[in-house]
Chain A
Amino acid sequence: MIQLKDVHFTYGCHPVLDGISLYVQEGEVVGVTGPNGAGKSTLLHVIMGLIKPQSGEIKVFGVPVSKFKDWHRIGYVSQRAAFFNRSYPATVFEVVLSGRAALRGMFRFFGREDKRCAEEALERVNMLSRRNVALGELSGGQQQRVMIARALAVQPRILIMDEPTNGVDAVNLVELSRLLKNLHDEGVTMMLVSHESEWLSSLASKRVCLDRKICSCNCHYYPGEIRWRDCMMSRQEKYSLDCADSLVRG
């Protein structure tokens, strides 16, 4: 579904992604973790075509990302979704329905099909009963479920989430894990980025530790799994050790 080959991205002279190769195949749950500034969000931005890498090849559903048009096949929950304007005047249903705006196309209003898909998405995240509640009145965990429903409203083949645990307390984190597991059981492929490496380990079938380079990965094209030692950087050594340990345990 998603292929990255030797992707390099730098902000000025500061390398953020240094030769990243990664594959996301149908049915997988790929978890990407790493310390702050490791390039996790940048990796997603590159995949989503929001920024252009200096070199390397990125394909989405077999199409080079620069030529890819069917973005509705990907459900994206950005990190900013956790920090949205809480007094934004909108109900849960209006927010979820808005997820179908790009799919519906310009100069066209939402129709019955859009409303049905939005209701179905709310049902999947168990929030249909709260459809008419203002978004700002929900807890952090419930708001995150609404954001996931918004991404699911386009009936995507893959769900990509950037730091989904932000703003979610411990109790709601269990609920979030259960929801994501259910979605995976329903056949949704997922790519999750989080600094919570242990939480990620409990969900991901393919686990990647990123620190500008891919430090470790339990996948066949990174044999040995403990390659993280090769690219370890002193400032992040402790974090990366913890991170790699949790991946090995997971």
Chain B
Amino acid sequence: MDIFQYEFMQRALIGGLLVGVICPIIGLFITLRRMSMIADALSHVCLSGVAAGLLMGAQPVISASAFALGGSLLIELLREKYKNYSELSIAIILSAGVAIAAILIGLGNGFNGGIMSYLFGSIVLITVEDIYVIAIIGLPVLLLTILFIKELFVITFDEETARAGGLPVKLINVGFTALTALTIAVSLRIVGILLVSSLMVLPVAIAMQLAKSFRGTLVTAVVSGEISVLIGLLCSFYLDLPPGGAIVMTLVLMLVLVLVLTPRRAASV
């Protein structure tokens, strides 16, 4: 296609296809752990990381990764403190992330509107450096998640039996939260901070309606993610829309279509 002769579209496509694979895989385990909101909390922590990066002249994706990692570890620590109200940890970190971001954006006088491209994603502003950072962080995240897929399955299915079987459940849980944080950080350039959690959760919601096996759900979620990235980027180019909004609206329309066509399963999931 002609549009992929443009270098910025090639960069958007490479970055988009990579996050289109990673986000649904991580999103599946987040959903099965019933912690969908963790992605929202960590993406808001990323906002403060991006603001810090812009303020100090550092690569925003790298500073967002560092902030998100810190946030993920704090969430795990707070989950220990509030064992019976673990969702409190997510609310606390989300609030702290937004508060720090507001202060840093204020200190940077709004960064001349540059922060907007991180909120909703931007295809024209993705640099070669961004793609390297996305690949260097994203590919190991993808590899590690695939390597731990059977352990994550067991833990999300029945944590007690996983612990009884001798699996290092706590270590894997902390590691997985860190992988979630890194996934959000590398995805924010494409879909934006405010919509990254949608690219994690919506493909899973679609897949759960269509597949009954774990493998089928995983594959369907990834395929849905990739289709939405492709259609979203095309819409973004031709209609001059923010890519994050276009990708997520594609996913929402796909989900509505699936829910309409498979009403029986919708009631049981």
Contacts and interface: CB of A to CB of B under 8 A. Distances in A.
B268 A76 contact: no
B158 A101 contact: no
Given A84-B157, A94-B214, A98-B157, A110 B165 contact: no
Interface residues of B, number: 29
B213 A90 contact: yes
Interface string A36-78: 0000000000001110000000000000000001011010111
A197 to B, nearest CB: 24
A89 B217 CA distance: 7
B165 A102 contact: yes
A21 interface: no
Contacts of B150: 98, 101, 104, 109-110
Nearest to B151: A101
B164 A78 contact: yes
Majority DSSP secondary structure for residues of B touching A: helix
B213 A91 contact: yes
B158 A106 contact: no
A95 B154 CA distance: 8
B121 to A, nearest CB: 29
B164 A48 contact: yes
A81 interface: yes
Contacts of B166: 69, 71-72, 102
Interface string B22-54: 000000000010000000000000000000000
Interface string A77-104: 1101100110111110011001101111
B269 interface: yes
Contact of B161 (A72, A78, A91): A78
A249 B154 CA distance: 41
B158 A89 contact: no
B167 interface: yes
30 contacts: A50-B163, A71-B164, A72-B166, A74-B164, A76-B164, A80-B158, A84-B157, A87-B269, A88-B156, A88-B157, A89-B212, A89-B214, A90-B153, A90-B157, A90-B214, A91-B213, A94-B153, A94-B214, A98-B157, A99-B165, A101-B151, A101-B153, A101-B165, A102-B154, A106-B147, A106-B151, A107-B147, A132-B213, A137-B212, A150-B161
Interface of B: 32, 147-148, 150-151, 153-154, 156-158, 160-167, 207-208, 211-217, 268-269
Interface of A: 48-50, 69, 71-72, 74, 76-78, 80-81, 84-85, 87-91, 94-95, 98-99, 101-104, 106-107, 109-110, 132, 134, 136-137, 150
